[in-house]
Amino acid sequence: MNARSGNRGFSMLELVVVIVIIGILLAVALNRLLPYIDEAERVGVLTLESQIKSTLVTDAAKRIAGGRAASISELDGSNPMRLMLEAPKNYVGEKREDQRNAVPRRNWYFDLKTRRLVYRVGRRFGWSNDEFMDDPEFEVRVAFNDRNGNSRFEPGTDELYGVRLQTVAGAEWLAANKPKRQ
């Protein structure tokens, strides 16, 4: 018996087969996991949207309780991130329209021209048809019954319904279906 036969190691063919098997397993795993990255991003946006809505309602209630109901009209078209106790780490601030493309994906910014809060959606892994959907955009609006028809909220004349954070773009992405388990 040859002393070298016990230490022969892997042949090139065996090594290639192992690499191919690992590659296939990795591709299958990524195919299953990447849609969940999209879903986590979408849920994160919806969660922050809820937090902002709560913050707006709280601020409006403080104004009313403090006898400053007329100041609620200041919230219309305002940057809701200014009301947050702490802005999210992926909020990059207020930007002009020409700075939009400089905002990295998966980040929030406030567009000074449109007066909207915008979330730049990251690369979509799971739904290839979503590639051309709009980034979600939100705007703060005071909801009231405009009794005198002047399009401005006036306490004592108009009936206040509340303050809303309205989705004005990207609603399709926010309402996307969860990834299906296979």
**What six digits make up the tokens of 29?**
């795993």
Output the pLDDT for position 128: 47
Eight-state DSSP code of residue 166: E
Average pLDDT over the chain reads 85
Give the pLDDT band of residue 6 (cuts 50, 70, 90).
low
Asked whether the predicted pLDDT for residue 4 surpasses 60, the reply is: no
SS3 68: coil
Domain limits of the chain? 36-174
Per the CB < 8 A criterion, the answer to whether 90 and 108 are in contact is yes
Mean pLDDT of 56-66: 93
Give the pLDDT band of residue 132 (cuts 50, 70, 90).
low
pTM of the predicted structure, to 2 decimals: 0.76
107: nearest Cα among 93, 124, 94, 90 = 90
Per the CB < 8 A criterion, the answer to whether 105 and 120 are in contact is yes
